[in-house]
């Protein structure tokens, strides 16, 4: 039987897909080139944003067509959306055969056997059982990169940031034993993989499962893990994502900056540059703590590179909060930033609070204290999903918040067009008229505005 896994979401999901593929191959399945070529299709889903869920559900709908053409095919979902909505989706989507929760990846081969044999739907969504089996499986058949390998060092998260669904779908923090991680890294190094990329929802809390953020002078088990991996022959580079600022202690800064094999790049999620909003987000640090980490890291390694995550439009965020975020981003001089519009996730504290808030704001957004309403420019900024803020020379003045400074722009045929408020029909009409009037102008013979190939 040939299988194909389509992955949505973060590196943790990519790693889980690789583990699942390795397990399937171990049980006699063969990888397919695509879904049309496969007998078994699994979607590894993400729940962090509403849009990611919609994409996966849309894809499931499309796969129904394949099932009508090839009725023997088996379809399943795994990952965060399977954990949170698996039972509901199994009832709703006729051609969906199974749903595997985030803690049950090791049971995939057995579930598929049961679905195949009994032709029945199967939900396997228990949380917190023995999940470690299989998460250290890798494929050395060329399907995974020969240059870099993901290694999961912990699962789950216990931080409960008020906007985040992850603790509900991936369970509490569970760090893997250090010996098991080191053994996995040794195996990878023995296969000639030079770079180890450590993964976890909150890697800086490795070994401190379910505890409050430590004081700044506390020891760092994650720092010890970095040193242990650096001591393995054959490992040449170490990277990791994502640390939590509240767990970034001085001991971790020391281990990080003193270990040569650790790349001098940190993805340090900021989320907001306003202390008031950080508190509402249940992020247990303030902007002063964040800046003290970036300053201390840069002091030790001036070439240090930073990237971050930011949420725009969090309930009650004001213009002043938003400007504070921009100022802090200028101050740090990030090389890259992933900027997301706030997406309410059912069951999270911020989504519940926003629902309880009296009507009058957008999704619980309060007016600016200065009385300024949300402007169209601000709405456009909120819609920014990802922006490149690479800095040619680092420093407060150099950060270019491109997507925040400009309206949406699309480059077509060498020209820049700001997206207008016209309907697609009007744009098409205008483009047709243009083409009729200028039949020999190659630029005007391109697609109408707003229609990207
Ligand atoms: S640290 Fe916060 S944002 Fe990150 S996974 Fe945990 S709850 Fe979600």
CB-CB neighbours of 231 under 10 Å: 12
Confidence at residue 250, expressed as pLDDT on a 0 to 100 scale: 97
Confidence at residue 396, expressed as pLDDT on a 0 to 100 scale: 35
Buried b (16+ CB within 10 A) or exposed e, 165-180: bbbbbbbebbbbebee
Determine the Cα–Cα distance for residues 448 and 452; give it in Å rounded to an integer. Answer: 9
Q: For a pocket test of ligand 1, which of 48, 155, 159 has the largest count of ligand atoms closer than 8 A to its C-beta?
A: 159
Residue 192 CA, ligand 1 centroid: distance in Å: 33
Confidence at residue 134, expressed as pLDDT on a 0 to 100 scale: 64
Tens of pLDDT, residue by residue over 152-192, are: 999 999 999 999 999 998 899 999 999 999 999 999 999 99
Q: For a pocket test of ligand 1, which of 167, 210, 348 has the largest count of ligand atoms closer than 8 A to its C-beta?
A: 167
317 belongs to a structural domain = no
Confidence at residue 356, expressed as pLDDT on a 0 to 100 scale: 63
Kindly tell me if the per-residue pLDDT of 373 is higher than 90: no
Is 204 a pocket residue for ligand 1 (Cβ < 6 Å)? no
Tens of pLDDT, residue by residue over 191-207, are: 999 999 999 999 999 99
112 belongs to a structural domain = yes
Question: Percent of the chain at pLDDT above 70?
Answer: 77
Kindly write down the DSSP assignment for every residue of 209-239, as one continuous string: TT-PPPPTTS--HHHHHHHHHHTSTT--EEE
Residue 161 CA, ligand 1 centroid: distance in Å: 6
Nearest Cα to 213, choosing from 146, 135, 139, 293? 293
Is 166 a pocket residue for ligand 1 (Cβ < 6 Å)? yes
Contact 111, 98 (CB under 8 A): yes
Determine the Cα–Cα distance for residues 195 and 73; give it in Å rounded to an integer. Answer: 37
Domain membership of residue 50 as a residue range: 2-124
Kindly tell me if the per-residue pLDDT of 276 is higher than 80: yes
Contact 39, 1 (CB under 8 A): yes
Which of 86-90, 285-289, 374-378, 439-443 tops mean pLDDT? 285-289
Report which ligand 1 atom has the smallest distance to the Cα of 244.
1
Residue 386 CA, ligand 1 centroid: distance in Å: 19
The CATH number of residue 9's host domain is 3.40.50.12160
Give 245's contacts (C-beta < 8 A, 6+ positions apart).
268, 269, 270, 283, 285, 289, 290, 293
Give 240's contacts (C-beta < 8 A, 6+ positions apart).
197, 198, 199, 200, 203, 226
Residue ranges of alpha helices (H) inside 357-423 are 376-382, 402-405
89 belongs to a structural domain = yes
* Domain tally, the chain: 1
Residue 282 CA, ligand 1 centroid: distance in Å: 10
Which residue, judged by its Cα, is nearest atom 2 of ligand 1?
161
305 belongs to a structural domain = no
Q: What is the mean pLDDT of residues 312-328?
A: 96
**Rg of the chain taking only CA atoms, in angstroms:** 24
Report which ligand 1 atom has the smallest distance to the Cα of 160.
7
Determine the Cα–Cα distance for residues 99 and 237; give it in Å rounded to an integer. Answer: 36
Determine the Cα–Cα distance for residues 351 and 164; give it in Å rounded to an integer. Answer: 10
**Following CA atoms 75, 78, 80, 82 in sequence, which dihedral angle do they give, to the nearest 10 degrees?**
50
Kindly tell me if the per-residue pLDDT of 234 is higher than 50: yes
Confidence at residue 146, expressed as pLDDT on a 0 to 100 scale: 84
344 belongs to a structural domain = no
10 belongs to a structural domain = yes
74 belongs to a structural domain = yes
Q: What is the mean pLDDT of residues 305-331?
A: 96
Determine the Cα–Cα distance for residues 447 and 18; give it in Å rounded to an integer. Answer: 39
Which residue, judged by its Cα, is nearest atom 8 of ligand 1?
164
């Amino acid at each position: 039987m040939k299988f194909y896994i389509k992955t949505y979401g973060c590196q943790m999901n990519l790693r889980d897909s690789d583990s699942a593929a390795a397990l399937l191959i171990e049980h006699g399945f063969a990888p397919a080139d695509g879904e049309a070529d496969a007998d078994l299709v699994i979607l590894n889903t993400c729940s962090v944003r509403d849009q990611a869920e919609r994409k996966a559900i849309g894809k499931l709908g499309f796969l129904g067509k394949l099932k009508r053409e090839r009725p023997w095919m088996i379809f399943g979902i795994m990952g965060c959306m399977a954990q949170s909505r698996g039972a509901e989706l199994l009832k709703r989507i006729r051609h969906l055969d199974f749903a595997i929760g985030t803690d049950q990846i090791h049971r995939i081969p057995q579930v598929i056997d049961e679905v195949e044999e009994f032709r029945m739907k199967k939900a396997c969504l228990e949380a917190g059982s023995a999940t470690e089996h299989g998460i250290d499986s890798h494929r050395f058949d060329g399907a995974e990169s020969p240059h870099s390998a993901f290694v999961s060092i912990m699962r789950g998260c216990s931080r409960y940031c008020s906007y985040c669904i992850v603790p509900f779908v991936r369970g509490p923090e569970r760090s893997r034993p250090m010996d098991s991680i080191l053994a996995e890294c040794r195996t990878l190094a023995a296969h000639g993989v030079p770079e180890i990329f450590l993964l976890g929802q909150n890697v800086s809390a490795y070994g401190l499962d379910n505890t409050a953020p430590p004081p700044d002078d506390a020891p760092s088990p994650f720092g010890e893990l970095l040193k242990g991996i650096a001591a393995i022959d054959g490992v040449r580079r170490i990277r990791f994502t994502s640390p939590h600022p509240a767990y970034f202690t001085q001991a971790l800064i020391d281990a990080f900056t003193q270990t040569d094999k650790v790349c001098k790049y940190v993805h340090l999620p900021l989320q907001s540059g306003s202390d008031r909003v950080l508190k509402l987000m249940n992020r247990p640090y303030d902007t002063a703590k964040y800046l003290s980490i970036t300053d201390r890291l840069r002091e030790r390694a001036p070439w240090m590179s930073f990237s971050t995550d930011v949420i725009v439009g969090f309930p009650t965020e004001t213009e002043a909060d938003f400007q504070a975020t921009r100022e802090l981003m200028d101050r740090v001089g990030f090389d890259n930033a992933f900027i997301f519009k706030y997406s309410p996730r059912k069951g999270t504290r911020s989504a519940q609070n926003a629902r309880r808030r009296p009507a009058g704001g957008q999704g619980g957004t309060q007016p600016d204290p200065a009385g300024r309403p949300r402007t169209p420019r601000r709405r456009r900024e909120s819609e920014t999903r990802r922006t490149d803020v690479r800095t040619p020379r680092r420093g407060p003045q150099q950060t270019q918040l491109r997507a925040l400074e400009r309206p949406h722009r699309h480059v077509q045929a060498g020209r820049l067009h700001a997206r207008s408020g016209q309907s697609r029909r009007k744009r098409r009409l205008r483009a047709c008229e243009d083409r009729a009037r200028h039949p020999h102008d190659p630029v005007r013979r391109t697609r109408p505005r707003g229609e990207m190939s």
